[in-house]
Amino acid sequence: MQTHTEGSGQCTSNFVYTNGSDVYLGQAAHCAGTGEATDTDGCEAASLPLGTRVEIDGASRPGTIVYSSWLTMQGRGESDANACDFNDLALVKVDPADVSKVNPSVPGFGGPTGSAAGVANAATVYSYGNSSLRGGVTALSPKQGAVVNSTGDGWSHTVYTVTPGIPGDSGSGFVDAQGRPFGTLSTLAIAPTPASNGVSNLSRELAYAQANGLGGLTLANGTQAFSPNIVGAILGAA
């Protein structure tokens, strides 16, 4: 679903998470950024605070940001430059009135399946972007692509998809050919691979959150079986 962070911009949620009692939607931490679009160093960039309201498409009440990798890294004085550049995950707590409406399945594809996994170069991957800039043409939302390379000591992957992610897709989730979640959309690249995307390593983002106050956090599996059928996903979205 699309999320609209109060005082900032629109993004796309990635996966559903829980700690056993509360339900969260993941979005990019930079979705709550208050600086320039080029401010990507999470250890330095300005951000809205925890507790900021987030409108969620289809929800009757706004959610609230309860975790931000950017704010956490700034609070800890993080010195790992790769984490600062690529750790880009926030969690939006879903209001209890809307929890029953939440479905963790990836639109068009089903899944995710299993826990966050690594991904190899040249691996086939799938995603679903929900930017309003597509003008409601949902057939353009399902995406299939491939991993070009890994950067930042494994903190990020360069991924090329058809169609590429666009503004508003930020934060959306990526799964591998088995439906295993591996990343979240962080940046739109101009060089060296035009129209590629920077996809942050979800297993590292989750591990960071779990090590910093969210030890019981888990990723929810989808209620539908995963199918890597891009044509079926496009036809189903049309």
**What digits encode the pLDDT tens for the residues 56-98?**
999 999 999 999 999 999 999 999 999 999 999 999 999 999 9
- 8 A C-beta contact, residue 165 and residue 185: yes
Pairing of strands 181-188, 197-201: antiparallel
DSSP state of 104: -
188 versus 225: which is more confidently predicted? 225
What's residue 117's pLDDT?
A: 85
Residue 155: HSE in the Cβ half-sphere, 13 Å Cα cutoff: 15
Q: Among 188, 228, 203, 213, which Cα is nearest to 12's?
A: 188
C-alpha angle 133-112-216 in degrees, rounded to nearest 5 = 105
| pLDDT tens-digit series, residues 118-142 | 899 999 999 988 777 676 667 778 8
What's residue 192's pLDDT?
A: 57
Report d(CA 1, CA 80) in Å as an integer. 32
What's residue 28's pLDDT?
A: 96
DSSP state of 82: H
| pLDDT tens-digit series, residues 163-214 | 777 778 889 999 999 999 999 999 876 555 666 889 999 999 999 999 999 9
| pLDDT tens-digit series, residues 4-58 | 998 788 899 999 999 989 999 999 999 999 988 778 899 999 999 999 999 999 9
What's residue 3's pLDDT?
A: 95
Q: What distances in angstroms separate CA 11 from CA 48, 171, 232, one per listed residue? A: 15, 6, 25
Mean pLDDT of all residues in 224-232? 90
This prediction has a pTM of 0.93
- 8 A C-beta contact, residue 105 and residue 94: no
What's residue 36's pLDDT?
A: 84
What's residue 51's pLDDT?
A: 97
Q: What distances in angstroms separate CA 123 from CA 79, 81, 97, 147, 163, one per listed residue? A: 31, 26, 39, 5, 17
Mean pLDDT of all residues in 95-118? 94
What's residue 34's pLDDT?
A: 93
Domains of the chain, each with CATH number or no CATH: 2-101 (2.40.10)
